[in-house]
Amino acid sequence: MKIVSEKQLTLIRTEYQHLIDKQSNNYFFEGVNKSIFDNLVLFTDDIVYNKIRDNHYLAMTNCQRTWNKYFWYLRYQTDILKNGGNIENHQQPISKILEELYQTCDNIDDSSIEPFVNFASKFDQQEYVTFDYFHPAITETGVSLLSKELNEIIKLLQIENFNFEEIDALIVKNIDDKKAELLTFKNHTDKHSFIKIDTFTAGEDQIHPIAILIRCKTEYKEQVDDLLVSWWSKFWKKLGPFVAITTVDKFETNAFYTERKRINK
């Protein structure tokens, strides 16, 4: 389950705020934070969402859309309660979204719903946040993860032993090799902060995205989000997938990564 990052949505809203405002008239705003409400409208309203998707700003499945809809409705409820409001009238709509999740997504059960509800409802209280990003490392201009944005993230999080040339060489070596190196880079003192990079790509793909996870303390969330969206904006017409926040470490839970050679740097 991947949630579109807030800075990614802010960028999208700069293009579509007029349409969002127009469609917002079909809904009743009860909270304090208008951005939360606008993000909910973005995923809930078919006219807004389809317009954004058709322009390739959001490449996501129906399941992913529903998770995002659920996330922002839970945050909207929390915002209403902060304002001393009542959320009784919202129980039926949110139950319908939950029903939609079970119908749209595979392998959904109560054990996956409860942690997500806690994550969304207490989002501003999280100690750490994990970003999920795909970068097209192999392009017509060469092979490289090197960028101003990733370099700034490495400095910000004080990540050690990160060598761009070494990683680029592994990416070239590991095309179609499912036993490719999956690298973990950490902060010397904060072992919960990390950057993980899967050096595997499929040779048959027209674009070769490299899977990256970045986990940081919440105090760095906005800066990391800004930098990733800046990085994404240079490639989005080629790549499509959005900068996301995730509740799970896919490298540990997804069978796709089972054969990787795991290396802590």
How would you write the pLDDT of the chain (265 residues) with one tens digit per residue?
A: 799 999 999 999 999 999 999 999 888 888 889 999 999 999 999 999 999 988 777 888 999 999 999 999 999 998 888 878 777 777 888 899 999 999 999 888 778 888 899 999 899 899 999 999 988 766 656 678 889 999 999 999 999 999 999 999 999 899 889 999 999 999 989 989 999 999 998 776 555 688 999 999 999 999 999 999 999 888 766 555 789 999 989 999 999 999 999 999 9
Q: Look up the pTM and report it.
A: 0.91
Q: Enumerate the H helices of the chain as residue ranges.
A: 6-24, 34-44, 46-54, 62-82, 91-104, 110-121, 148-156, 164-173, 221-232, 236-239, 250-253
